[in-house]
Structure 1
Amino acid sequence: MPLLLTVIVSTLLVGLAMPLGALLAHFEKVKSVWLEQELKHGVMAIGGGALLSAVALVLVPEGIANLNPLAACAWFILGGLSFMYLDIYLKKIDTPASQLAAMLSDFIPESIALGAAFATGSNNAFLLAALIALQNLPEGFSAYSELKTSSVYKPKKIIIMFFLMATLGPIAGVSGYLWLSDSPEIISAIMLFASGGILYSIFQDLAPQVKLEKHWAPPMGAVLGFTLGMLGLMLTT
């Protein structure tokens, strides 16, 4: 398969994890209230673990490879600050789409970095794709659940919107593949910017939703998600 086609297919499949998560949330029917809560919190925890593994095992190691320490730290912090100010803005306008905005704000730079990773022949390109898909699934689940609470967004409309958003992956991925393959410093900056934003999101949006009073199983989802990323790295090196 030509490399450009690989980028398109990979980023599209990664993006389709978002509507898949929404479909799981739509058809999720659990009679037991406590089991339903365990499931929702566990899904969020797995997403948090996958995000953390993407940051720790792929994005940060590759991001710091082409930048000096000062620049690397600056881009990482800038990513966190940008996501924080986005969070503040969404809270100020009281939108029911904060999870959706957070999902897109890390999906797009990650897709750019993924396309660039394929262009540069990175051994971790497929691992990064798998981790992004693994995070998009619970993020789609959570974003759908959040949007469904608003009377403005009907379930069918939300799912269709998520499918359309999946096409942003190939657009961003091809952009990274065609225009950033010869700019390793820019790729590294994007990776670290995304990493800072993701890390902020984990502790601002995901981690607080993982804890469930008198239930200790959901946080193990974070351990499971990180273990999956670690296993992928070990199998590809």
Structure 2
Amino acid sequence: MPERDLTSESVVPSSGKTWGLRFSLGAMMVIVALFAGVFGYLSYFRPAKCLVSYQVVTLPAQEVDRLGLEFHVIDDSSYRWALDPKDEIAELIRRQSRTEKPLYEKQMTVASWPRQADTYTYIRPAVISASTSPHPEFKSGEFAGFWGVRKVGGQLMFRVEAHTANRQPRIMTVDDQRLGRFDEVAGALAYEGEFPTSKLVFAAPMGDQHVHLIVVEAKEANASDPAVYRPGTTSSSEQQPELSTKPQDPQPEAVHNDE
């Protein structure tokens, strides 16, 4: 009997230690798996930085159609998007800029995903036409949306989510029965995919003769590069003057404009 009692007493603590050891090993495995998942996610989805430059223009519809770009539909929007690997849209803009500057231009650094906010508005004088109205005419538009950039498994990804609109004086004919003095277009811009290696073009028809376009160029930037925010009508291809710390003579008061 004493021997049997000793045997039973020795079995109980041994079972308790084994269960505790198994629980500790299981908890450690769960913790290790959680850390591995977190580090795996952080290494697969990584932050990135890029410089976005874009121009807003209207171009003759015939000239844009002649390029034969492969446009993609954006759901529930008047706009479509396409890539311009031959830079043909930019050439049309350069030719038009000799007589008419883009409606709006901007450069900015993007370093967030999925949303980094951006907005603009513009109003520009248009050619006065007695057939449309005896009053001065203007082109106007606005944009509100987001840009995004990140790395996924080492590959750069780019994102656009926005809403834009534009209006301009309508070119009327004698038989034209349409109401209103303006051609207008409004709709969503949407793109999410590989980082564009060529210009990303959003386009929508403006009446029968023109197309409203937002032409986007994105270039990867280093984390150490300074942030850029440069709105206005300065072409991204032009060199910016360096800032000088030398004292300068007083300048006459500048003339105010709509910028």
- TM-score, normalised via structure 2 length: 0.24
More helix per residue: 1 or 2? 1
Looking at CA atoms only, which structure, 1 or 2, has the larger radius of gyration? 2
More strand per residue: 1 or 2? 2
